[in-house]
Amino acid sequence: MAGIAAAALGVLAWSFMEYVIHRWLGHDARMRPNPFAAEHVRHHGEGNYFAPIWTKALAAAAGLGLVGGPAIWLAGTTEGLSFAAAFTGSYLGYELLHWRKHIHPGYGAFGRFTRRHHFYHHYTDPKFNHGVTLAFWDRVFRTLRPPGVIRVPERLAMPWLIDPETGDVRAEHAEDYELIPAEG
């Protein structure tokens, strides 16, 4: 039972770190320069750009190393490993979910909500909606904004958003998104 509680705490700890890293390392000029900010700025500017897999694997290994030792020292082997594995697994899950939001339209109400939450951050106001997988910490830190209709620059539009025959927003996404035409 203590291992399960430690794992749940690891998931919660990662969700907090996701928010902290994204909000402050990615968007607070006082925290720059840092390696995350450089990749993050490129991701915002290119839309579907993601850092190479090897950097994510390196980050996962570093995270496991940074939290594993202290967690084992503080809570014991089973609980410490449970915490560290859940923390690192949540980071890897975050990376997968973030990538999927950009390449796939998602499923159901939760998928729709998290994509709109994230793309509000990308295309409307990067000072808000920093939680990529969850909006929980945005509620806590009062950075949550309802997305409304998200205006996506044509050059940054996600492939799943565009009808290849018309070049317009697909009908099933038209109430949530609109394209900002490229200036020509």
Contact 154, 179 (CB under 8 A): yes
Q: How many CB atoms lie within 10 A of CB 28?
A: 11
Contact assessment for residue 147 and residue 121, using Cβ atoms and an 8 Å cutoff = no
From the centroid of its chain, how far is CA 105? 15
For residue 69, give both structure tokens: 């030792």
pTM, two decimals, is: 0.89
- Residue 177's pLDDT band (cuts 50, 70, 90): very high
User: CB within 8 A of 65, min separation 6: which ones?
Assistant: none
Q: How confident is the model at residue 184 (pLDDT cuts 50, 70, 90)?
A: low
Output b/e per residue, 155-180; b: 16+ Cβ within 10 A: ebbbeebbeeeeeebeeebeebbebe
- How far from the centroid of its chain's Cα atoms is residue 110's Cα? 14
The residue ranges of DSSP E strands in the chain, in sequence order, are 150-153, 177-180
Instruction: Judge whether 104 and 160 are in contact, CB under 8 Å.
Output: yes
> H or E segment at 9?
helix 2-20
> Each residue of 101-157: pLDDT tens digit?
999 888 899 889 999 999 999 999 999 999 998 999 999 999 999 999 999 999 999
Is residue 152 within 8 A of residue 178, CB to CB? The reply is yes
pLDDT per position as a tens digit, 37-86: 888 888 888 878 888 889 889 988 998 999 998 999 999 899 999 999 99
56's CB contacts (< 8 A; 6+ apart) are: 92, 95
Helix-helix angle 77-103:2-20, to 10 degrees:
40
151 bridge partner residues: 178
pLDDT of residue 73: 94
- Domain residue spans of the chain: 2-147
> Has residue 93 got a pLDDT over 90?
yes
Residue with tokens 């951050």: 121
